[in-house]
Amino acid sequence: MVQGTSPIPTAARETLSSHPVATLASLAALLLLLMLGAALVGAYPITLGDFMAALGRQLTGEVTKEKIDTILFDIRLPRVFAAVVVGAAIAAAGAAYQTLFRNPLVSPDILGVSTGAGLGAVLGIFLSLPVAAIQLSAFVVGLATVGLVYGIASLVHGREPILVLVLAGVVVGSLAGAAISLLKILADPYDQLPAIVFWLLGSLSAIRKGEVWAAVPLVLIGLFPLVLLRWRINVLSLGDEEAKALGVEAGRLRLFVIAAATLITASVVAISGVIGWVGLVIPHIARMAVGPSFDRLLPTATLLGASYMLIVDTLARTMARTEVPIGILTAMIGAPFFLWLLARGREGWS
């Protein structure tokens, strides 16, 4: 399960990643273009001219009662930003986890944060709490689940701290999954059960401005230490012994990274519902582009995740007359694309 892999980029990758700044700049430009495009499509027709006019009104502080302003600034743009934040956050957390665990099969759910958040939300729905309280409950229980996993793992003194951590995550995660199933059985089949099912499939359809603004600072608080510690995290990918030899205390650094990535994931999952797949695949794609070095991987994965999520969410709200759950789309678009990449990729992981 746990393999040490070499972080040294191959010659082929060297050419791709020799201009990391250029890569990042083009990814950022792509994201901005996608955001503009996403702002212009939707159930309510808005042209580029309408958009500019509305933007102008907003910037000059003109107070209008126009429907287009409500659609744009209260519904569509918050949703576009939400997709960007959620995608960026989950991909960043995924990149951090994969580097930390030195394993490409790891996703941000490995320590149970998504399942825990799911349990928190399901509990909130079961108790008929208001929407904000459901989200808070998801956030808190998501954090608490990872806290529990870390606590259990640190009580076990073994030679394989990562293995113990992952095992504890699997065990606690399936326990939370069982609790979700129990609540589903007990829930009101007419009101609560559909709400639970929809929440667990993930969706940004009900996202509000306030929710995005609440999630952004939390995501930034989590991203900040990852950026600061990027070099050390790189060293961590060599293995505990080597890291120690290089003067990095693996155990404490690991705690920091887990705490940061968990905070990032929990704050977005709380507003979006469980969204799988992005955290697993986007870091891979980023690694294929810029190599495994975490200092490059993190910004690349973040930008790619934001773009991917934005595309998926835009499809989710425009494909049909009603919403398509994001959780279904991320997998249905992501899986074939990933297999294609896998088939044409000639290199090993790392």
By the criterion CB under 8 A, which residues form the site for other proteins?
A: 42-44, 67, 70-71, 74-76, 79, 125, 128, 130-131, 134, 184-187, 189-191, 193-195, 198, 203, 205-206, 208, 317, 320-323, 325
Judged by CB, which is closer to other proteins: 80, or 100? 80
| Smallest separation, CB 298 to other proteins (Å) | 32
| Smallest separation, CB 128 to other proteins (Å) | 7
Judged by CB, which is closer to other proteins: 61, or 247? 61
- Rounded CA separation 229/88 (Å): 18
Judged by CB, which is closer to other proteins: 152, or 193? 193
| Smallest separation, CB 189 to other proteins (Å) | 6
| Smallest separation, CB 55 to other proteins (Å) | 18
Contact 113, 265 (CB under 8 A): yes
CA geometry: angle at 35 spanning 336 and 198, to 5°?
60
| Smallest separation, CB 191 to other proteins (Å) | 7
| Smallest separation, CB 157 to other proteins (Å) | 42
- Rounded CA separation 193/13 (Å): 48
- Rounded CA separation 243/262 (Å): 23
Taking each helix axis from N to C end, the angle separating 209-228 and 250-272, rounded to the nearest 10 degrees, works out to 160
Judged by CB, which is closer to other proteins: 75, or 220? 75
| Smallest separation, CB 207 to other proteins (Å) | 9
CA geometry: angle at 203 spanning 178 and 206, to 5°?
120
Judged by CB, which is closer to other proteins: 2, or 206? 206
Judged by CB, which is closer to other proteins: 94, or 325? 325
Judged by CB, which is closer to other proteins: 42, or 147? 42
Instruction: Count Cα neighbours of 134 within 13 Å in the Cβ-side half-sphere.
Output: 22
Judged by CB, which is closer to other proteins: 184, or 244? 184
| Smallest separation, CB 79 to other proteins (Å) | 8
21, burial (CB in 10 Å: exposed 0-12, middle 13-18, buried 19+)? exposed
| Smallest separation, CB 105 to other proteins (Å) | 31
Judged by CB, which is closer to other proteins: 29, or 131? 131
